[in-house]
Structure formats: structure tokens, C-alpha cells
Structure 1
Amino acid sequence: MSEFRPEISHYTYRVTWSADDQEFVATCAEFPSLSWLATSQIEALQGLQEMLREVIADMAEQELAIHAAEEGMSLNQYVLRKLSAA
């Protein structure tokens, strides 16, 4: 199975200066519990976007695992069945 690369450009980002941390902090409106600190605005945004890719991919994997378990199948069996139905 190929690596899942979620589309992260459709989210709402904000990069601000944190006086407390003395770094820029990037946040995402759709995932308010996530943030990334860095010394530059670009590094803060890029760090958050990479973390968001990982979080979304993990969420998708967990969702597939739940569906597989509900149907009494291994994750591999479930994915193969879904791919062959497509």
C-alpha cells in the first residue's frame, strides 16, 4: 500500500510571535490543540504542516482499523477488500 499523504493546504493557519517563548508559533484553526514553535515564521508553519500530515494519516489509519475490527477482519484483509471493490 502506498504512503497516505493528506492534503493539508485546505486548512486555516496562523503564525504569530510568542513573547513568552521568544519564538513564532504556528496554529491551525481546525486542530486547535496542535501548535509548532520555531525561530522563523516559515519554519513554524512548515513544522506544523508536517505534524498535521502525520496526525491526519494516523487518524485515517485508526479509522480503517476500527472498521476492520467491526467487520472481524485484519486491517490488511479489510484494505484488500476495499481496494478490490473500487
Structure 2
Amino acid sequence: MTLPNQFWDFYSYRVVWSSEDEEFVATCAEFPSLSWLAEDASEALQGIRQLVADCVIDLQQTGEPVPDPIAQRQYSGKFQVRIPPSLHQQLVLQATEENISLNRLVTLKLASNPPISLP
């Protein structure tokens, strides 16, 4: 794959304060094994961006696949979720009572809840 200049600009970066490290930690969702620590948030972002750029260049040079940026991937808007039958029943009942489809109910629930942080 031929990548445009600064392809790594399109990746998903995040910078958060780490009380454990007492520094800002920057990460890139497409490269979960990479992180960069710095005393300043902008330095952390600059550091992870440079690290990702170096990784992308290395992957290209060795012929390994380069991850597509999440923002540039195509999404169908569909995915399957396995839930316990009792929860399925509760959701169907609630959707019926509200006179909406199960899909609409689940979409509303997903959109209205705050993000869940996984450990």
C-alpha cells in the first residue's frame, strides 16, 4: 500500500494524565502497544505522533501491513451482540411498551449512556 505523506496524522490519538506516572501519557488506538510519557500534554502528543510515524515507516520498509486509521475505515452500522435471553426479553418488553423497534431502543440506549471505561 502506498501511503500519503504524514499518513499517521489520521490515526486516533489520546493524551491523559497518569497519576501513577505523574506525567501525561499519550496513546494511539491503532497501535495499542505504543505509549509516550511527558510532563506536558503537547509534548506527549508530539512524542507519540513521532513514534507512530517511525513505526509506520518501519512497517512500510519491511513490507508489513500498516493499520488503517479508524477514522478512514468504512462502517456498515451493523454489529451483533450476544446477550442473556432474560435481557433480550426485558428489552423487547420495553420496546413494545414504548411502541418502538428493538433496534431503535438499543440505539437510543447506546447513544444516551456515558462512555464505559474498561479496566
TM-score range normalised by the length of the shorter chain? 0.5 to 0.7
Q: What is the TM-score of this pair, normalised by structure 1?
A: 0.66
RMSD: 1.7
Give the Cα–Cα distance (whole angstroms) in 2 for the partners of residues 24 and 5 of structure 1.
Answer: 27
1:26 and 2:30 are equivalent in the alignment = no
State whether residues 6 and 56 of structure 1, in contact with CA within 8 Å, keep that contact through their aligned partners in structure 2. Answer: no
Percent identity of the aligned residues?
Answer: 48
Runs of 4+ that moved beyond 6 A: none
Q: Which has the larger radius of gyration?
A: 2
Greater RCO, 1 or 2 (C-alpha within 8 Å, sep 6+): 1
Give the Cα–Cα distance (whole angstroms) in 1 for the partners of residues 44 and 18 of structure 2.
Answer: 11
SS in 2 for 1:20: coil
1:12-65 per-position Cα deviation (integer Å, ceiling 9, x unaligned): 01000001100000000110100000001100000000011111100000008x
More strand by share: 1
Unaligned runs of 5+ in 2: 65-119
Cα displacement (A) at 1:6: 4.0
Equivalent pairs counted in the alignment come to 61
Unaligned runs of 5+ in 1: 65-86
State whether residues 6 and 57 of structure 1, in contact with CA within 8 Å, keep that contact through their aligned partners in structure 2. Answer: no
Q: What is the TM-score of this pair, normalised by structure 2?
A: 0.48
